[in-house]
Each structure stands twice: as C-alpha cells, then as structure tokens.
Amino acid sequence: MNPERGVLVSGNWKMNENHFEALRLVQELAALLRHTALPGGVEISIHPPFTSLRTVQTAVETDHVPVVLGAQHCHFDDRGAFTGEVSPEMLAKLGVTYVIAGHSERRHIFGEDDDVVRKKLDGIVRHGMRAICCVGETADERESGRARDRVSEQIRAAFSGRKPDVLGSFVVAYEPVWAIGTGVSATPDDAEEMCAAIREDLVSVAGAAAAAIRIQYGGSVAPETAGELVRCPNVDGLLVGGASLDAAKFVAIAAAAI
C-alpha cells in the first residue's frame, strides 16, 4: 500500500443474499465495525445484488455504518430498450459510489469484451461514480506466458486516451481468473509483480495521473492472506468475493489491511 492512495477493501457479494439476508449481513457488519478499530486510510465498499441496493443503502445511512455502497455491474447507456439492464444513472440516484466493471464472470459468462468494459467505465464516470475495472489472465494465458500481455491489453483498452482529471477516480482490480473462487490465491510476490506491471502500463497511458489510481488484488482473499497482500507496494486494496459473505471474515480482512 501507499499512504497517499490509501486502501480500498471491497466485498463483491455476487448473486448471493436476497434482500432479507442482505439486511442481516449489513447489520452483522455494522455490529462488528462498531467494535473494530480499522487502520486509518482504509475504505470499505460493499456490492450487493441490485435487488438489495436500496435496503442496504437505507441500513447503512440509518445506522451510520462506515462503508460505502457499491454495485456489481451496469449497462453503459442511461436509458432505453435494454430489457433487464440497470443504468449507471439509476445506480447514482441510489447513492452508489463504486461500480465493478469487467469482472471476469461478466467477461467469460456474459461475453463482455474490452469495448463494452470501456463504455461501461464511460457511463460510470459520467454519473460521478467510481469504476473498479477488473483485469486478469486465465490459467491458460498464465501457463503459456501471455499473462502480462493480456492484462496490458485490458488496461490499455480501458484507460488510453482518458482525460487526466477523471483518471484518479478509477480503481483497477487485478484478479487472476484462476484464483477467483478456487481457494488458491496468487502469492504476494505474484500479485505485486503484476500490480507493478499494471502501474507501468497506467503510467504509459495516463502519465502522472497514474500515481493516484488504486490497484486492488482479488482472488481467494482470506483473513490469513489479506495483510501480506496489502503490504505489497503496488497493492492498494482487495476485492473479496466468497469471504465477504461472512461478516466476521470480511471485517477481519479489512482490519488486516494496513
């Protein structure tokens, strides 16, 4: 971590927790966070499914829970004939701060390519929210030595040609696809190597503004591994899936993020 960028710990609930369960989870988080001294500079975002956003937003505001609201996905347009989709404008009106874009499950299961991800980033910033742009290589790409190139391609597609004033609002999440939901996290050395490479790519597309962009690591993060991952100089936070559904584990991860 870098003290100027601080640390962002994000809980991606994926397609879990109906709105009753979501309310219980946020209440559990509230209770634990009341009694946990978080290190300074740590920000927490939680990303429930769309159907729970309003419930969670109300609970966070009413109980003054020290977390910000996030979403997992959005369409890139503001409105129109896109059955089933949710627009960035709708999320902004719900008080959403961070929106995940380009998660590997969206890329691989729902066919989102680099162009769609870029348009989503445009929509998210247009409404004053912050995008968490996920990048990462598959196991095949890593085994065949193409990991660095693939991640570089994703970074360039997402960030080249953007105005310096919006660049600092972005977060990149490096999530090797082989580490997501598998229980096999990247080692701190591997995470740092790729996050440092991402920082170089960001400098080459964004110049000095790249210094403000936070880079999270994601993929099987657990309370036992969170501290050593966040102590890597180019890792500025964690994107947590499975462990974010357990309030005690998620708070332990945030507490370890110094």
Total number of residues that touch ligand PGA (CB under 6 A)? 13
Active-site residue (options: 105, 112, 137, 175)? 175
Catalytic, 47? Answer no
Using DSSP bridges, classify how beta strands 68-71 and 98-101 pair: parallel, antiparallel or unpaired: parallel
Question: Are 232 and 188 within 8 A, CB to CB?
Answer: yes
Catalytic-role residue among 103, 105, 137, 141: 103
Question: Which of positions 176-215 make contact with ligand PGA (CB under 6 A)?
Answer: 180-181
CB nearer ligand PGA, residue 71 or residue 221:
221
Q: Which residue is nearest to ligand PGA (CB)?
A: 241
Closest CA to 210 of 171, 172, 167, 175: 167
Instruction: State how far Cα 24 lies from the chain centre.
Output: 22
- φ, ψ of residue 222 to 5 degrees: the values are -135, 160
d(CA 98, CA 74): 11
Draw the binding track, 5-24, toward ligand PGA (x: CB under 6 A; -: no contact): -------x------------
Q: Which positions ≥6 away from 80 have C-beta within 8 Å?
A: none
Q: Check residue 218 for interaction with ligand PGA (CB under 6 A).
A: yes
Q: Is 103 a catalytic residue?
A: yes
Which CB sits closer to ligand PGA, 179 or 209? 179
How far apart are alpha carbons 66 and 243 in whole angstroms?
19
Scan residues 149-178 and list those touching ligand PGA (CB under 6 A). 175
Note the residues at the interface with ligand PGA (CB under 6 A): 12, 175, 180-181, 218-221, 239-243
Residues noted as catalytic:
103, 175
